[in-house]
Structure 1
Amino acid sequence: MIKGLYEAHLPVSNLQNSIEFYRKLGLDLAWCDENTAFFWIEEGKSWFGLWEGNEYETRYHPSLRHIAFRVSYEDLKESLKWLDSIQVEAVPFGNRKSIEPFIRPHQGNASVYFKDPDGNSLELICYVEVSNELKHITDKLSFVDWEERVNNTFK
């Protein structure tokens, strides 16, 4: 199931300064908003996130206790069955109620979350090819909703 490391995170005190620094290293900015930025290490395979916060947040930010493992799209569709088979419970992401894997079209990825025995946040994530017609979608979509939109867009 696990193919590699998809993402790791770092807390930063000034997002813009950090963006400039990592661009100088030759990394491509993949996605950002007002508090976070993601840079590709290997496009479609691995990236890392920068999370801006105050001094307390940069020392204790949840991003310091989170990593994501790269999986295939098909494996992610079967991830709940796999987690269940190894007796690991999936958990909802953020304020979502559902544990089902979901697609983030605007970021071009899909994921499901779970925790290790110490409560560290773990994620199975895959790259998702998103056409320009669908990149504006910021909602988190189920695989069923996503595949329906993709099929309707290209009929």
Structure 2
Amino acid sequence: MIKGLYEAHLPVENLDNSMEFYKKLGLKMAWRDEETAFFWIEEGKSWLGLWEGNEYQTLYHPSLRHIAFQVSYEDLKESLKWLGSIEVEGVPFGSRKSIEPFIRPNQGNASVYFKDPDGNSLELMCYVEVPNNLKHITEKLSFEDWEKLAKN
């Protein structure tokens, strides 16, 4: 029945300002009206709606105001360089101090985090093939540590 994600939405304070930010990320404009703009994540498949209003003041929680964009493993390894090239800074996830991308072996994925101009949490994320003997690891690993461990 379910084939994928069609849309997601984020609140923003200033639609014009936020539109410029999401264009820098490489998202293509689908349509816009006075208080709303939609950007294609995958053209013809999924989009992100930005809604101007006071809701941007809602305190962040992982269940609110968060979007994860799927990227390749190799792109994630270079994500901080790419973010820097468009003048966007990475942020630490949770209680981590590092902004570096990391692997979650027990979940089979990897991530790096950053924020939009309104403090919405954004994530670049990819799937990671994890051998069965490493799926028990709940620690978040650097790419360097993961690649050493996965080789053995």
TM over 0.5: yes
Partner amino acid, structure 2, of 1:69: F
Q: What CA distance in whole angstroms lies between the structure 2 residues aligned with 1:68 and 1:150?
A: 25
| Structure 1 match to 2:141 | 141
How far the C-alpha of 1:85 sits from its partner, in A, is 0.1
| Structure 1 match to 2:64 | 64
Q: What CA distance in whole angstroms lies between the structure 2 residues aligned with 1:87 and 1:103?
A: 24
Show structure 1 runs of 4+ deviating over 3 A. 59-62
- 1:39-97 C-alpha deviation (Å, 9 max, x unpaired): xxxxxxxxxxxxxxxxxxxx974421001000000000000000000000000000000
- 1:87-119 C-alpha deviation (Å, 9 max, x unpaired): 000000000000000000000000000000000
Give SS of 2:146's match.
helix
Q: List runs of 5+ in structure 2 lacking aligned partners.
A: 9-58
| Structure 2 match to 1:132 | 132
Q: List runs of 5+ in structure 1 lacking aligned partners.
A: 9-58
- TM-score, normalized by length of structure 1? 0.59
**Equivalent residue pairs, number:** 98
| Structure 2 match to 1:27 | none
| Structure 2 match to 1:77 | 77
Q: What CA distance in whole angstroms lies between the structure 2 residues aligned with 1:111 and 1:80?
A: 11
Partner amino acid, structure 1, of 2:122: L
Q: What CA distance in whole angstroms lies between the structure 1 residues aligned with 2:91 and 2:144?
A: 19
Q: What CA distance in whole angstroms lies between the structure 2 residues aligned with 1:96 and 1:62?
A: 15
Partner amino acid, structure 1, of 2:97: K
Give SS of 2:95's match.
coil
Partner amino acid, structure 2, of 1:135: K
Q: Percent identity?
A: 84
How do 1:99-114 and structure 2 match up within 5 A?
99-114=99-114
Q: What CA distance in whole angstroms lies between the structure 2 residues aligned with 1:64 and 1:90?
A: 19
Give SS of 1:147's match.
helix
- TM-score, normalized by length of structure 2? 0.61
| Structure 1 match to 2:29 | none
Structural RMSD (CA): 2.2
Q: What CA distance in whole angstroms lies between the structure 2 residues aligned with 1:91 and 1:107?
A: 21
How do 1:4-43 and structure 2 match up within 5 A?
none
Q: Contact between 2:60 and 2:120, CA under 8 Å: does it hold in 1? A: no
Partner amino acid, structure 2, of 1:99: I
